[in-house]
Amino acid sequence: MKTYIKNIFIATAISISFLSCKKDNPNITDEVYLNTTNVSTTWLAGLKRQMALTMNQVIVNTELVSDNYYNNRTLSNKVFDIPQIDNFDLDVNNIQSAIQRLRESSEYGLTTVINADKTTTAVQKAEMYFINAYSHLLSGELFTGLPGAAKGVVLSPAQHYALAITALDQALALQTDAGEKLAYTLLKARVYYDMGDAVQARIFATAAMANPLLLKQQAFDGQNGAPNDFQTYIFSSTTNEFAPLPRLDFLDPKYYNTTTIALDQKPVSYIKSEEAYLIVAEVQVSGNDLTGAQTTLKNLLTDVIAKRPVVSLSDVKETRNGGNRTDYPLTAVKVQFDKNDIERSGYVLNRKIANINISTVSGTMVTADDINSATTQDALLYLVYRMRQEIFISEGRRMTDLGIKFPVSQTEQLNNPNVKPADLVAQIPAFIPKNREMDDFTNNTATGVVTMKYDMNKVMVANKTAKEIFPFIN
């Protein structure tokens, strides 16, 4: 693995940087590069590194926007927690640039690199199509719109999703590995989910459930400039940069190092079978098949989550001491999801007295009894989204579930005459609390109870007909 990741770094220096540096270096030209041996191999390795860099931008910033994590220091975006999202924000441009670089690099591979390399295999083409699909998926999920080409017309999320489906169909036709085909199939289900197409989303999610432990992860390289940035923010930094909402404390840190930081960079799970079960369950709930949804969610618990790895981790250095808030609970206390909730145990861990158990792929506190007790559409819809939040934490998915999207960046506007004023406005649903209240809580040290200001899953269910959320309800 170490050698493989190092090769990714080297390949990227040749490939992804090639497009920007060839004008400055007369020795690096299309002809020189494209005539190197196995150019498709090096280009694909570079694409995989760009995937890691893109995920860094996506995960760090979208987790801050959401109610999952709070910026408890000052090194990251200062306003995403509000949430305040401006088109002139540097981080908005950084996220957009990373996604567009991923898209353009995959397109160059498919239109130019593979034609120059007669040794290109069908599987290599499939992987490039898959990465291209993923770039369009992120474009649609995270932005109100993004150009589909350099200085091109701003495409809507629906248009990006359509391009993602086309690329995935091409990838599936070329891929020969059965496991990879299932991963592509699940990503296709996710795209149809985003499109609000319950029929197609269920078909492809059900197909992906053929492997209950399906998992596709992105590797990182701490030695060669592609570390897992979120791991740094939640664990490796000597100052605790990001702090989870206390009711999510038991899931933090999903990424950590037990040896040296550079050598121990944890991967991100970005395609996993849990999503297939959650999609099917949401289709069932939305169609009032409540018994079917209960069965699907209980199968998710027993057939998938119970079989995912759990590690024993020493986290004694965790102090939640970033400084913006100093009242994070540091010992095991009870929590209330909001002021009307019951007091719950087990959500905040005592990291000082013993090792803690952490789920490295997926974890949840939802139980079979919780599922059996949820006998209405709203109650089950609530559980589906609570499980989505807990299962996908630290993976950059929650902001999309909340219905929030970034605008086109000001940098794009200044360089692309196709950008319209409407493209420069973020999508923040009316039901989203402002003034950092999604992350807010009170810590009553006398009673040993921490109370969240808002249970955002409850808020979403109360606003289930809002156009920005719950794709199968609207």
Q: If you write DSSP's letter for every residue of 410-473 in order, what string do you get?
A: HHHHHH-TT--GGGGS-B--TTS--TTGGG-EEEETTTTEEEES--HHHHHHHTTT-TTS-TTT
User: Which residues, other chains included, contact 148 with Cβ-Cβ below 8 Å and sequence gap of 6+?
Assistant: 103, 136, 139, 155, 159, 160, 163
Give pLDDT, residue 28.
56
Handedness of CA 297, 279, 142, 107 (dihedral sign): positive
Q: Please state, in angstroms and as integers, the Cα–Cα distance from residue 171 to each residue in 43, 201, 266, 399, following that order.
A: 17, 18, 27, 28
Amino acid identity of 122?
Answer: A
- Flag whether pLDDT at 402 surpasses 50: yes
Give pLDDT, residue 24.
45
Instruction: Work out whether strand 449-452 and strand 334-336 pair parallel, antiparallel, or are unpaired.
Output: parallel
User: Which residues, other chains included, contact 421 with Cβ-Cβ below 8 Å and sequence gap of 6+?
Assistant: none
d(CA 434, CA 52): 31
Binned at pLDDT 50, 70 and 90, residue 93 comes out as very high
Give pLDDT, residue 370.
98
Give pLDDT, residue 11.
42
- Flag whether pLDDT at 5 surpasses 50: no
Query: Tell me: the pLDDT tens digits for 451-473?
Result: 999 999 999 999 999 999 999 99
Query: Tell me: the pLDDT tens digits for 259-287?
Result: 999 999 999 999 999 999 999 999 999 99
pTM metric for this prediction? 0.94
- The residues pairing with 216 across neighbouring beta strands, listed in sequence order, are 271
Q: Please state, in angstroms and as integers, the Cα–Cα distance from residue 203 to each residue in 208, 280, 469, following that order.
A: 9, 9, 21
Give pLDDT, residue 239.
81
Tell which wins on pLDDT, 23 or 163: 163
- Flag whether pLDDT at 474 surpasses 80: no
d(CA 396, CA 67): 11
Residue found by looking up tokens 């040794």 in the block = 119
Mean pLDDT, the chain, rounded, equals: 93
> DSSP class of residue 232?
I
Binned at pLDDT 50, 70 and 90, residue 10 comes out as very low
- CA proximity to 396, closest of 213, 49, 134, 138: 138
Give pLDDT, residue 138.
98
SS3 215: strand
d(CA 217, CA 210): 18
Token readout for 240 is 């605790």
Residue found by looking up tokens 């506007």 in the block = 413
Binned at pLDDT 50, 70 and 90, residue 37 comes out as confident
- Flag whether pLDDT at 417 surpasses 80: yes
Binned at pLDDT 50, 70 and 90, residue 34 comes out as confident
Residue found by looking up tokens 């590797």 in the block = 219
Range scoring the smallest mean pLDDT among 1-5, 318-322, 383-387: 1-5
- CA proximity to 275, closest of 182, 142, 337, 160: 182
Q: What are the φ/ψ torsions at residue 324 (nearest 5 degrees)?
A: -65, -35
Handedness of CA 438, 426, 163, 196 (dihedral sign): positive
Binned at pLDDT 50, 70 and 90, residue 13 comes out as very low
Give pLDDT, residue 27.
52
> DSSP class of residue 75?
S
Give pLDDT, residue 92.
98
- Flag whether pLDDT at 201 surpasses 60: yes
**Residues counted in the chain:** 474
d(CA 419, CA 59): 26
Give pLDDT, residue 9.
38
Binned at pLDDT 50, 70 and 90, residue 7 comes out as very low
Domain boundaries, the chain: 2-462
Handedness of CA 82, 83, 86, 89 (dihedral sign): positive
- Burial string for 310-347 (b: 16+ CB within 10 Å, else e) reads eeebeeeebebbbeebeebbbebbbbbbeeeeeeeeeb
Query: Tell me: the pLDDT tens digits for 235-258?
Result: 998 887 899 999 999 999 999 999
What would the mean pLDDT of 2-12 be, rounded to a whole number? 37
What would the mean pLDDT of 342-354 be, rounded to a whole number? 94
- Flag whether pLDDT at 325 surpasses 70: yes
Give pLDDT, residue 321.
81
- Flag whether pLDDT at 15 surpasses 50: no
Q: What are the φ/ψ torsions at residue 335 (nearest 5 degrees)?
A: -130, 155
Indicate the fold that domain 2-462 takes in CATH: 1.25.40
Range scoring the smallest mean pLDDT among 139-153, 317-331, 343-357, 449-463: 317-331
Q: Please state, in angstroms and as integers, the Cα–Cα distance from residue 33 to each residue in 11, 23, 28, 38, following that order.
A: 11, 13, 7, 10
> DSSP class of residue 13?
H
Check if the beta carbon of residue 352 is closer than 8 Å to that of residue 331.
yes
d(CA 267, CA 215): 11
